[in-house]
Chain A
Amino acid sequence: MRPTALKGATVFTGNGRIIRNGTLLIQGGRVSRVGKDIKTPFLTKGISARGKFITPGLIDVWSTLALRSGGAGGHALARAEDAFDRYATHEINAALARGVTAVYLPARGTSGIGGLGAVVRLKPGAAPQEVLVAGEAAVCATIGIDATRGPLARVKEVRDFRKRWQTAKDYREAREDYEESLEEYEEKLKKGTDEPGKGEPKKKKTGAGAVAEGDSIDGPPRRRPRRGGKTDQPTSKPSEKKKDGPKKPKEPPRDSQSELLLRVMDGELPLRVEVHRPQDILNVLEVAREFNLRLIIEGASGAHLVADKLAEADVPVILDRPAASMRFDSGPRRYTVPDAAARLIEAGVDVYLGSGPHAPTRRLALLASQRVGHGFDQEAALKTITSGAARLLGIEDQLGTLARGMPADFVVWSDHPFKPGARVEKVYIEGVQVYRADSEP
Chain B
Amino acid sequence: MMINCITRPVRILTAALLSTAAAADDRWAIRAAAYVDSSGELRKGALIIIDGGSISSVAVDGESAGDLRIVTYEGAVVSPGLIDVHAALGADGQLSERQSAVQPQANARDAFDRYHREFGRAARAGVTCLGLSPDDSNLVGGRIAICKTSGADGGPYVLSDSGPMKLSLSPAVFRRDREPTSRGGAVAMLRKSIEPAWGARTVFVATPSGADVLTMLRMARDYELKLVLMHQVDVRGVGVEIATAKAGVIVGPLGWSTSPRVATAAGLLEKKDVAVAIAGGLPAAAADSLRLGAALAARNGLSLAAARRAITSVPAEFLGVADRVGAIEKGRDADLVIFSGDPLDLRSRVLAVYIDGRLVHSVVDSRE
Contacts and interface: CB of A to CB of B under 8 A. Distances in A.
A440 interface: yes
Interface string A397-441: 000000000000000000000111111000000000000000011
B342 interface: yes
B10 to A, nearest CB: 11
A369 B346 contact: yes
A210 interface: no
Contacts, number: 93
A334 B257 CA distance: 20
Chain B contact residues, majority secondary structure: loop
B256 A363 contact: yes
B6 interface: yes
A124 interface: no
A422 B8 CA distance: 26
Contact of A372 (B8, B255, B261, B347): B347
Contacts of A110: none
Nearest to B255: A324
Contact of B5 (A97, A342, A378): A342
B339 to A, nearest CB: 10
Interface residues of B, number: 37
Interface string B287-324: 11000100110110000100100000000000000000
Contacts of A440: 260, 264
Chain A contact residues, majority secondary structure: loop
A301 to B, nearest CB: 14
A94 B342 contact: no
Interface of B: 1-2, 5-6, 8, 92, 118, 121-122, 255-257, 259-261, 264, 282-288, 292, 295-296, 298-299, 304, 307, 342, 344-349
A321 interface: yes
A145 interface: no
B298 A339 contact: no
A322, A326, A339, most chain B CB atoms within 10 A = A326
Contacts of B257: 358-359, 362
A375 B5 contact: yes
B304 A420 contact: yes
A159 to B, nearest CB: 34
A322, A358, A367, A373, most chain B CB atoms within 10 A = A373
A326 B287 contact: yes
Interface string A355-391: 1001100110011011011110010000000000000
Contacts of A355: 256
A69 interface: no
Given A326-B118, A378-B347, A339 B5 contact: yes
A319 B355 CA distance: 34
Contacts of A362: 256-257
A94 B282 CA distance: 27
B36 to A, nearest CB: 12
A55 to B, nearest CB: 15
A355 B348 CA distance: 22
A323 B286 contact: yes
A308 B295 CA distance: 34
